[in-house]
Structure 1
Amino acid sequence: MIRCDGLVKIYKTTEIEVVALQGLNLTIEAGEMMAIIGNSGSGKSTLLNILGGLDRPSAGMVGVGPWDLLKITDAQLVQYKRESVGFIWQNNARNLLPYLTALENVETVMMLSGKLDRIYAKELLERVGLAHRIHSKLQQLSGGEQQRVAIAISLANRPALLLADEPTGSVDSETAERIMDIFRTLNRELGVTIVIVTHDLSLAHKVNRVVAIRDGQTSSELIRREVDESSSFKSEKEQQVTQDRHEEYIVLDRAGRLQVPKAYLEALQISGKASMEFDGEKIMIRAPK
């Protein structure tokens, strides 16, 4: 579904040049629900904006389905954003038109593409648990309800890819869990590919795969070995069990380079150079003698 190979994004001004993505490699399968985590400035939001067609890559390769986002024309980009991808922002003001009802917000997206389907719009609001709020306006909805309307809006044109930028960042933990439950249900029932950017590792552990980005490159992956779709992940104990199911892998790029987690390097007091040995079975990295 998504293929990034040596993806580079450089922001330039008259005085400064910032490399946000430095040859990032990433593959996401169709129908997958996964999370991208990273510290502020790591490049995760830049990646999401590129995948959403909101920003242009500088170099490398990035493909979403049949679309090549490096070579896409402006007219094709409009078509891509309307038909292939749905976007959910953390800030509800960017998701909703406050003077419209929940139903009218969903229908507006459809009308912009010339494909109004009121029955499907109501079905989407029912799927996110808002069948009783379809005629409510923004000021009549809680923050969690507004975010659920935003999810329905993002699916209005039946996109194959759903991108969510910190979708639970402005709601309480109980509402966040409900939103994640909705994502899992939509992923399972509609088959839509879902990519979530978050800084909250407890939420990231509720998906099947987590990709960590550091300094504009993929650094590691967490893969869940046993998936319990029926679990609601409501207790701290259940959250810990979920975390235990994730196994961490360091990601190698095409040149065989890897990013060792910062905590490991600090624990060994490694900086700049390291000693490496191979004993026939294991590769060992140590601080230089």
Structure 2
Amino acid sequence: MIHCEGLVKIFKTEDLEVVALQGLNLSVQQGELMAIIGNSGSGKSTFLNILGGLDRPSAGTIKVGDWDLLKITDEQLVKYKRDTVGFIWQNNARNLLPYLTALQNVEVPMMLAGKLDRAYAKQLLEWVGLGHRLNNKLAQLSGGEQQRVAIAISLANKPKLLLADEPTGSVDTQTSDMIMGIFRRMNKEIGVTIVIVTHDITLAGKVDRVVAIRDGLTSTEFIKRNPNLDGDGLAGFGGGQQNVHEAYVVVDRVGRLQVPKEFLEALDIGDKASMEFDGDKIVIRTPNKLEGETK
């Protein structure tokens, strides 16, 4: 569903150049439910914006289905955003029109695409547990209810890919669990591919695969060993007692990998490391110091 290789995004102003993505590699299969995590400034939101057609990539390869987002024209981009991808913002003000009812909000993208289907709009609100709130305006809905309306809106035109930027960042734990339950149900019943960007490690533990981004590069993956288990934690991130994720350091096609900074600090490794291969495993350690050499 998604394939990116050597993806680069550079933001330029008159006197400043910022490299937000510096060679990101990532593939996502059709029907996956996955999360992308990373610190602020790691590039995860930039990547999501490129997938959503909101930012243009600078270089590399980025394809979503049959769409090549590096070569797509402005006219094609409108069709892509209208038919292929759904987007959920953390800030509800960007998802919803406050002067419309919940039902009217869901119908807006349908009307823009010229295919109004009121029965399906009502069905979507039923699916997210708001069948009794069809005619309520936003001021009459809680924050969690507004976010569920946003999910219904994102699915209005039956997209193949659903992108969610911190979808539970402004709701309580109970509502967060409800929203994740909706995502999983939509993923299983409709088959929509879902990519979630989040800081919430607990939420990330409820998906099948987690990709960590550091400094604009894919650094680590956590893959659920048994998708039928819904564990509470991620390997290496603490959390619940049941560990159902296995951690992988990502190696790109030329053999580069990112070793977690905390590992290097624990071994007192700076800009150089000693590496050995014993026939079974690769060992990375602090370089041997020559006699008399200062540390």
* Alignment TM class, shorter chain as reference: over 0.9
Corresponding position of 2:280: 281
- 1:263 deviation in Å? 1.0
- 1:241 deviation in Å? 4.4
Q: Is the Cα–Cα contact under 8 Å of residues 181 and 232 in structure 1 kept in the other structure? A: no
Corresponding position of 1:206: 206
1:253 aligns with 2:252: yes
Letter in 2 for 1:33: L
Specify every segment of 5 or more residues in structure 2 that has no aligned partner in the other structure, as ranges.
234-238, 289-295
1:105 aligns with 2:112: no
SS of 2:26's equivalent?
strand
- 1:224 deviation in Å? 0.6
Task: Tell me how far apart the structure 2 counterparts of residues 179 and 66 of structure 1 sit (CA, whole Å).
Answer: 29
Count how many residue pairs are aligned between Structure 1 and Structure 2. 283
Structure 1 segment 1-289 matched on structure 2, within 5 A: 1-228=1-228, 240-242=240-242, 244-289=243-288
Q: Is the Cα–Cα contact under 8 Å of residues 31 and 193 in structure 1 kept in the other structure? A: yes
Letter in 1 for 2:285: R
Give the structure-2-normalised TM-score: 0.94
Task: Tell me how far apart the structure 2 counterparts of residues 231 and 148 of structure 1 sit (CA, whole Å).
Answer: 24
- Deviations along 1:3-40, one digit per CA (max 9) or x if unpaired, are 00100000011111100001100000000000000000
- 1:59 deviation in Å? 0.1
- 1:232 deviation in Å? 10
Q: 1:210 to 1:231 in 2, by over 3 A?
A: closer
- 1:229 deviation in Å? 6.5
- 1:185 deviation in Å? 0.3
- Deviations along 1:126-169, one digit per CA (max 9) or x if unpaired, are 00000000111000000000000000000000000000000000
Task: Tell me how far apart the structure 2 counterparts of residues 51 and 195 of structure 1 sit (CA, whole Å).
Answer: 10
Corresponding position of 2:293: none
Task: Tell me how far apart the structure 1 counterparts of residues 105 and 229 of structure 2 sit (CA, whole Å).
Answer: 30
Task: Tell me how far apart the structure 2 counterparts of residues 180 and 148 of structure 1 sit (CA, whole Å).
Answer: 10
Corresponding position of 1:236: none
Specify every segment of 5 or more residues in structure 1 that has no aligned partner in the other structure, as ranges.
234-238
Q: Is the Cα–Cα contact under 8 Å of residues 231 and 240 in structure 2 kept in the other structure? A: no
Q: Is the Cα–Cα contact under 8 Å of residues 88 and 154 in structure 2 kept in the other structure? A: yes
Task: Tell me how far apart the structure 1 counterparts of residues 265 and 141 of structure 2 sit (CA, whole Å).
Answer: 47
Task: Tell me how far apart the structure 1 counterparts of residues 251 and 273 of structure 2 sit (CA, whole Å).
Answer: 17
Task: Tell me how far apart the structure 1 counterparts of residues 31 and 55 of structure 2 sit (CA, whole Å).
Answer: 24
- Deviations along 1:44-103, one digit per CA (max 9) or x if unpaired, are 000000000000000000000000000000000000000000000000000000000000
Task: Tell me how far apart the structure 2 counterparts of residues 88 and 147 of structure 1 sit (CA, whole Å).
Answer: 8
- 1:116 deviation in Å? 0.1
Task: Tell me how far apart the structure 2 counterparts of residues 79 and 201 of structure 1 sit (CA, whole Å).
Answer: 34
Task: Tell me how far apart the structure 2 counterparts of residues 18 and 3 of structure 1 sit (CA, whole Å).
Answer: 24
SS of 1:240's equivalent?
coil
- 1:230 deviation in Å? 7.7
Identity %: 72
CA RMSD in angstroms comes to 1.3
Letter in 2 for 1:51: L
